[in-house]
Structure 1
C-alpha cells in the first residue's frame, strides 16, 4: 500500500532537515510539502530532494481551508507531520494575529481535514 504523507512547514529549519532524513529512511513514501515560504522558509534547503519523484512542493497556507481540503482530496494522505508555525515568540507581543491564525486556526484546519477525510468519509469501515 502506497503511503503519502503531508508535511507542513517543510521549508523551515526543522522541516527541511526532517524531509531528506525521512525520505532516506522511507524511500517508498510520497511526501507533499505544504509551506507558505515566509521569512523562515527556504527551498534552497531542500535541493537534495527537489527532483525526487516522491517529493512534491506546494506553496500555500495551512490557514487556507479550501487548499488544505483540496490537497487531502487529491493526495489521499495517510499521515500528517505538522511543522508549520509562527515561531518568533517575541514578535507575538506586538503582533499576535499571525500566531493565532497559523498556530491555532491553521492547526485546526489540518485536524478538521484529517477528521473529515479519515473518519467521516462515506466508505470508512
Structure 2
C-alpha cells in the first residue's frame, strides 16, 4: 500500500510515519511545508528506509499537490497538515484560513481528480482521511 501523509514532519504525522515504516511494508510519502510545526529530525529514524520519501511542499500549492498524487499514486491519504495552537490563530488568523481551509480544499480537489482516474477496484479501495486536533 502507498500512503501519502501531509504534515508528516509534525508531532503526530512523524509518529504515524515511524509506526507505519516500523510495522509494515507500506510505502509512505511525507508532504510537508516545514513550518514552525515541522521537524525533519523527527523523521530521522525512518529517513533511510526504502519505504520512505519526503517532498517539501505546501498543501495550498495545487500544482505540487497534483504532482504528488500523480507521481506517488497513493492508495491512502492521511491529511494531517494544519495550523494549530490557539494563540497563533489569534496572532495570525490568515495562515489558519489558508492552510486549514484552502489547503484542505486543495487536497480534497486533488484527491477527487486523482480518484476519478483510478480503475474501479482501486477507486473502491482508495481512502482519504482528514485527521486533526480540536483546535482546527
Q: Give TM-score, length-normalised by structure 1.
A: 0.90
Question: What does residue 82 of structure 2 align with?
Answer: 85
Q: Which residue of 2 is the match for residue 37 of structure 1?
A: 34
Q: What SS is found at the alignment partner of 2:46?
A: coil
Quick check: which one's helix share is greater? Answer: 2
Which residue is equivalent to 2:63?
Answer: 66
Matched with 1:46 is 43
CA distance in 1, matches of 2:19, 2:105: 27
Instruction: Pick the aligned partner of 1:25 from 23, 32, 49.
Output: 23
Q: What does residue 13 of structure 1 align with?
A: 11
List runs of 5+ in structure 2 lacking aligned partners.
Answer: 121-136
Q: Deviations over 1:36-88 (max 9, x none)?
A: 11111111111110000110011110000000001111111111011110012
Give the superposition deviation at 1:94: 3.0
Unaligned runs of 5+ in 1: none
Per-residue deviation at 1:99?
A: 0.3
Runs of 4 or more, structure 1, over 4 Å off, are none
Cα distance, 1:124 vs structure 2: 3.6
Instruction: Indicate the RMSD between aligned Cα atoms, in angstroms.
Output: 1.2
SS in structure 2 of the partner of residue 80 of structure 1:
strand
Residue 70 of structure 1: SS of its match in structure 2?
Answer: helix
